[in-house]
């Protein structure tokens, strides 16, 4: 519960922007999937799934957990395009015009949330000390970017005092994707509107999910500025930090080689299940063996979500016993 509340607090910049959108357009924060895809039948068969603002898709788990895998599942439909797990950076492809249906499995603390390629989600770090309950607009922002397509997002901020005459401060954020390892760029435009509601200077963290590590360059108003680059292999995230920049400056982050990252855990699944002693197991014994591997196996099994049903054969080989494949299919990809 604490983690969920902290996540909600981190997402205030995104939620506030979506609430401004709702007040101006009448479009709610939560939208059923068939609103965006009224001509696709599958969009009507995921009643628990919804768009959460313009950038995110959520599929809450509302059923009891599966005792075999110790995880809960949600049936998900992804519209056509590439989608990323919001938390892990794993990529899912829905190539068909009708989208893609699959079953996703998560532990108790996992939430199936996806962002489409080109998505841009602003969040704030959790405050500490005297500023923990501050209602001021944050001096430190994180911008989470999901490569694979161009993206645009306009961040809306205000003083908290409502008036029809007051316009919010707006910060336009654009991402221009170039595939096959070419250079891509993220641009944060100077703040417009009621900029007095904003801090004079800000620190920015730019997090590019689902790509490999790469060289970067950063400019503010056309001049090179210092930045800190880190890469997290666990979440497949390239993070670029730019400190203490005027909110009225233009920031441009250029990535030299934006190559999509493969899922590093896929081979781990097969390494666990290729042991010779597992070759002659019955299906029941396979279930037991999977459970016996405990966290090491369960932590990697969700990597098989990118296949479904008969496609399970595509990721098998002669060393993986059919009983294990069948058990994995039933436990992890059950529909």
Q: Render 118-172 in DSSP notation, one character per residue.
A: T-EEEE-PPP-GGGTT--SPPSEEEEEE--SS-EEEEEEE--S---TTPPPEEEE
Mean pLDDT of the chain: 80
Q: Which CATH topology does 2-115 take?
A: Immunoglobulin-like (2.60.40)
Q: How far is CA 16 from CA 93, 202, 290, 330, in A?
A: 30, 18, 44, 41
Say how far apart CA 123 and CA 173 lie, in whole Å: 13
- pLDDT, residue 163, reads 65
- pLDDT, residue 330, reads 47
Non-local CB neighbours of 115 within 8 Å, separated by 6+ positions: 55, 56, 57, 83, 84, 86, 121, 144, 146, 209
- pLDDT, residue 68, reads 60
Same fold? 2-115, 120-255: yes
- pLDDT, residue 307, reads 38
- pLDDT, residue 275, reads 47
Phi and psi dihedrals of 20, rounded to 5? Answer: -60, -45
pLDDT tens-digit map of 138-174: 999 999 999 999 999 999 999 877 666 667 899 999 9
Do the bridges between strand 91-94 and strand 81-85 make them parallel or antiparallel, or are there none, so unpaired? antiparallel
Q: How far is CA 33 from CA 9, 13, 20, 56, 57, in A?
A: 25, 23, 21, 11, 9
Model confidence pTM above 0.85: no
Candidate CATH numbers 2.60.40.1180, 3.30.300.100, 1.10.340.30, 1.10.4160.10; the one for domain 120-255: 2.60.40.1180
- Mark the ranges of the chain whose per-residue pLDDT is less than 50: 265-270, 272-281, 294-324, 329-335
- Boundaries of every domain in the chain: 2-115, 120-255, 266-332
Say how far apart CA 252 and CA 230 lie, in whole Å: 17
- pLDDT, residue 161, reads 73
Say how far apart CA 335 and CA 330 lie, in whole Å: 9
- pLDDT, residue 255, reads 94
């Amino acid at each position: 519960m604490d983690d969920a509340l902290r996540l909600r607090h981190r997402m205030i910049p995104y939620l506030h922007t979506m609430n401004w959108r709702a007040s101006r357009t009448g479009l709610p924060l939560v939208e059923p999937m068939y609103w965006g895809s009224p001509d696709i039948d599958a969009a009507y068969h995921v009643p628990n799934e919804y768009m959460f603002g313009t950038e995110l898709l959520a599929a809450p788990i509302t059923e009891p957990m599966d005792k075999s895998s110790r995880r809960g599942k949600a049936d998900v439909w992804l519209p056509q395009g590439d989608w990323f797990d919001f938390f892990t950076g794993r990529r899912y492809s829905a190539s068909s015009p009708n989208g893609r249906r699959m079953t996703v499995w998560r532990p108790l603390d996992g939430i199936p949330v996806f962002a489409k390629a080109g998505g841009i989600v602003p969040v704030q770090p959790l405050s500490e000390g005297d500023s923990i309950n501050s209602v001021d607009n944050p001096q430190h922002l994180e911008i989470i970017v999901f490569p694979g397509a161009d993206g645009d997002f306009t961040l809306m901020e205000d003083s908290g005092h409502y008036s029809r005459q007051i316009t919010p401060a707006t910060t336009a954020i654009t991402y221009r994707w170039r595939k096959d390892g070419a250079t891509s760029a993220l641009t944060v435009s100077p703040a417009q509107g009621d900029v007095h509601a904003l801090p004079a200077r800000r620190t920015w963290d730019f997090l590019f999910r689902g790509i490999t590590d790469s060289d970067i360059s950063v400019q503010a108003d056309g001049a090179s500025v210092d930045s800190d680059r880190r890469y997290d292999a666990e979440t497949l995230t390239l993070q670029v930090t730019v400190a203490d920049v005027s909110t009225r400056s233009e920031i441009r982050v250029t990535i030299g080689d934006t190559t999509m990252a493969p899922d590093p855990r896929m081979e781990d699944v097969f390494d666990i299940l290729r042991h010779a002693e597992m070759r002659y197991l019955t299906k029941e014994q396979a279930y037991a063996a999977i459970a016996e591997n405990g966290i090491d196996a369960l932590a990697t099994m969700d990597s098989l979500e990118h296949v479904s049903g008969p496609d399970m054969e595509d990721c098998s080989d002669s060393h993986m016993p059919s009983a294990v494949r069948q058990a994995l299919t039933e436990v992890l990809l059950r529909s």
